Amino acid sequence: MKVPLNWLKEYIHTKLTAKEIASALTMVGHALDKPIYEQGGDFIMDLEDRGNRADTMGIIGIARDLAALNGIKLIYPQEGKIPKINNGKITPPIKVESDKVTRWMAVSFKNVKVAPSPDKIQKRLKAYGIEVINNIVDITNYVMIETGMPLHAFDTDKVDEIILRQAKKGETLVTFEGTKLVLNEDDLVASDSKKPLTLTTAVGGRESGIIKNTVNILIEAGLYHQPTARQTAIRHNVRNETSARLGKYLHPHYCEVAISRTLELMKEIVGVESENVSFDYYPHRYVTKVVSLTEKRLNLIYGKDIKISEAAQILKKLEFQIKKQDNTELSVGVPYFRTDVTMEDDLIEEVLRIKGYETIPSYLPQRPSPPKLFFPQMDLEDKIKDIMVKMGFNEVISQQIVDIKESRKTEVINEDRVVKLQNSWNAELNILRPEFISPQLKYFIAYVQHNVAPIKIFEIGKTYTKEAGTGFDKYKEVRKVALTTDTGFYELKSVLERLFMELGISNAILEKIDFPAFKKDVAAKITVNGEDIGKFGGIKKSILYSFGIEREVTHAVLYVERLLKYATEDIISNIETSVINFIGEDFTFIVGEKDEAGKIQEKIRKELGPHDQLNFVGEYRDKKLKSQNKKSVTFNIKFATNNLEKARAHSNKIKSL
C-alpha cells in the first residue's frame, strides 16, 4: 500500500516527517516494502501488504493506526447523504442474478460535465502512481485509495440495463486498457441485455466507460464472494488496485462509506447531485461481532500486569466499541473495517501493538519448565528419517499445494476426492497434494540434472483427500513415508526390509498387486497381520516419460500411523539411533582400455565395510590416454564413519590397489 505523505496528513494533523511516520508504523506492524521515495512532488511510503488487514488498503486505515499510536484525533473526510433506497426506480434497471454478490450499491447522475480534475486530485493520484483520466474516473480512484473500497462508473446512455450474473463460456470482454478477456462460467460480470460490460471482481470494460461526451452516469460500489474475486484475478492475470482490494475480506459497510464519499466529491468537483433514489442489494446483512477480553488472558500473553481499563482506552482509540466493562473483563464491539478481528487474542494483539511490543518483558518465565511431551508418531518419524539417511537417502520436502495436471499424470487420483483450492494465489497450485509420486518425480528430475548417482530420496508428509461427510469431517489427512530411487525394485525391497528390521517390525509380508502407477508384475503391497502398511513398485514408463524421465524408477509409500501400530514399543520410546555419518571421496584410476569397470568395482568392494557405499561415476579418455590405449575410471566412495583418521586409512588402502 502506497501512502503519499501529504495525502496522509489530510486525515491526521502531524508534523512528523515521512521517515518518522514510517518508523512509527513499523512498530505497529506496517513495515516499509521499499525505501521512501519521492514522486509527483510528495514523499511516498510503500508499505508491505498486510494480508489480513483489509482496512489498511485505504489511506484512512493507515491514518487510523497512526492516530491511535500518537494519541491524535483522526479527521474523517466529508460525506454526502445517500438518497432513499428504491431498487425498482433507479435507471437504468438493475438485476442481480448471482449468489456471488455480497452487496451492490449504486447512485446515478444526470447532465454531468466530463472535464479534467482539479489540481489537488490530480497531484495526489499522480503521487500515488495512478493515471489521471477525467473528473469522473478520478473521483472513483480517489475514493478507492482513500477508503480502500473500489468503485466503477458506467456511461448509462450506452447500456439499456445492468445485470449482475455469471458469465457464459466463451463470452469476451475488452477492458478499458484494451485487453481482450475470454470468460467462463466462474466469472462474475455486469452486463446489459447483449454483452458483458465489466468483469465485476477485477476490471472495467471499454464499451461502457466514461468518455469526453458522457452525460449520464451510474457509480457503483460492489462486493463479491472473496474466493471468486481472487480466482478471477488469477485466472485472467489481472493485477491492479481493484483486484488487490476485492481479494481481501472487505466488510459490506464499505459500500456505504464509498458511495457517501463519492456523493460529496461529485457535488464538490463536478457540481452535480445524484438522482433522488439509490440502489442497494444486500441480501444477508452483517451484524456487529462482539468479542470478550479478560484481564487474566491479557496479562498471561503480555507477561506482566496491565489494567483492563487501559486496554479499553487503547481499543477506543482504534474505534472499537466497549459494549460492557467491569474490573476484569470487556465486551468489545468490532468495527466494520476490522474484519481480521474475530477472537480474544486478536484484541490482545491490538492492545499490545499500540502499547508497544518493546514493553513486553524480555526476562525468562519464572515458572518451572514444562514436562517433556511425548509424541509417539513424531518420534517414529524422527527414527525413520535417521534410518533412511543412514542408508544413503536424501530427505526432500515438497509443496503441499500442487498442480492437478501433474497429479493426473500418475494415473492414481480420483478427481472426485481431490481437495481443490478456491482462492489459490497461483493458477498452477490448485489442489492439496493427493499423492507423492509426482512431487517425488519432480525432485528426481532435479537430481538427474545435477548428475547425482544413484538417486535415493525420501519424504515424510501428508496427503489430502475428500471423503463422505460434512464440514471439516469430510477432509482426510494421512501421513506417509515416500521413497523413490533408481537402484531397482529388489534394492528398494532390501531397503524396506532393513527399515522394518530397525523399527522392530518382523512379520511384514509382500503380496503381488495391480496398481495404476506401477508396472505389471513389478508391484507389491506390504501387510502386517492382514493390514496394509504400504506398497512399492516400478513406476510405469509412460508415467516416467510424461515427466521427462528415461530411466527405471521405483517408488514406495508407507502409512506412518500403521507403522506406529506395529513398531515395537522400545524402538518408539528410544529415538536415539545409531546414525552412521559418511565421509565421501572420489577415486580415479588409470587402467587399460580393455579393463572392465565392473571388475574394478568388485575389487574395491572387497576392501570396503558393510555400510560403505560405492558408486561408479564414469570413464574418461583424452588424446594422451588414447595414444597409450588407456582410460581413467572414477568411483565415489562414502566411508561409513565420522572419524576422519579412519576414513584416511581406508582411502590410502583403496589408492594402493
Report all structural domains of the chain as residue ranges with CATH numbers, in order of start. Answer: 2-70 (3.30.56.10), 84-281 (3.50.40.10), 290-359 (3.30.56.10), 376-573 (3.30.930.10), 582-655 (3.30.70.380)
Among residues 412, 410, 413, 406, the alpha carbon closest in space to that of 429 is found at 406
pLDDT of residue 337: 95
pLDDT of residue 367: 66
This prediction's pTM: 0.65
pLDDT of residue 255: 96
Q: For residue 33, is it left (φ>0), alpha (ψ between -120 and 50) or beta?
A: alpha
Confidence grade of residue 573 (pLDDT, cut at 50, 70, 90)? very low
519-532 tens-digit pLDDT? 988 999 999 988 99
Confidence grade of residue 569 (pLDDT, cut at 50, 70, 90)? low
Collect all residues with Cβ–Cβ distance below 8 Å to 322 and sequence separation of at least 6.
312, 315, 316, 330, 331, 332, 333
> Who has greater pLDDT, 319 or 623?
319
Residue 273: φ, ψ to 5°: -110, 155
333-388 tens-digit pLDDT? 999 999 999 999 999 999 999 999 889 888 766 667 777 777 889 989 999 999 99
Are the CB atoms for 521 and 510 separated by under 8 Å? no
Whole-angstrom distance, CA of residue 589 vs CA of residue 634: 6
pLDDT of residue 365: 62
pLDDT of residue 469: 72
Lowest mean pLDDT: which of 161-175, 351-365, 433-447, 608-622? 608-622
Interstrand relation of 277-281 and 101-109 (parallel, antiparallel or unpaired) = antiparallel
Confidence grade of residue 579 (pLDDT, cut at 50, 70, 90)? very low
Tell me the pLDDT of the chain averaged across its residues.
90
Are the CB atoms for 160 and 190 separated by under 8 Å? no
The whole-number average pLDDT for the span 33-52 is: 89
488-529 tens-digit pLDDT? 998 999 899 889 988 989 888 888 999 999 998 899 999 998
The whole-number average pLDDT for the span 186-195 is: 91
Whole-angstrom distance, CA of residue 502 vs CA of residue 633: 36
Confidence grade of residue 580 (pLDDT, cut at 50, 70, 90)? low
